[in-house]
Amino acid sequence: MKKIFLLLTLVFSGNAVAGWYQGTVTNVFPVDHEGGRVYIFLNDGNGELSCGNGKVFYADPNTEIGKAILSVALVAKTTGKLVWVSGSGSCVEGWPSNGGEKIISIDLKG
């Protein structure tokens, strides 16, 4: 039992200050700076903010998980389906996101 508690504590403690947001994808915007990022903009849904307005997340398209996140975001954009996004708490300021958060997971609803 102690091992399970320790495992759960370790898993969830890293995301203690991370944001999450639920909405639909309004824009998928690749930018060729800082190693390349793809910004995912969400509409006025709801969530707990940890960066900026909480509606902008970014992924690294040069990683396998970044490619998977991008695929889900593009499906969500083309179908108009709701997504639930979880961030890492790592924020970037300035253009184009004005407070985007690194995305660690995305769930396509419906």
Residue identified by tokens 């824009």 is 27
The pLDDT assigned to 70 comes to 95
pLDDT computed for residue 84 by the predictor: 95
Cβ-based neighbours of 65, under 8 Å, separated by 6 or more: 59
List domains and CATH numbers for the chain.
17-108 (2.40.50.110)
Q: To the nearest 5 percent, what fractions of the chain are helix, strand and coil?
A: 25, 40, 35
Confidence at residue 6, expressed as pLDDT on a 0 to 100 scale: 35
Taking only Cα atoms into account, the Rg of the chain, rounded to an integer number of angstroms, comes to: 14
Count of Cβ atoms closer than 10 Å to residue 16 Cβ: 8
Grouped pLDDT means (10 residues each) for the chain, 110 residues? 42 58 94 86 86 86 95 96 94 83 92
Q: Output the pTM of the full model.
A: 0.79
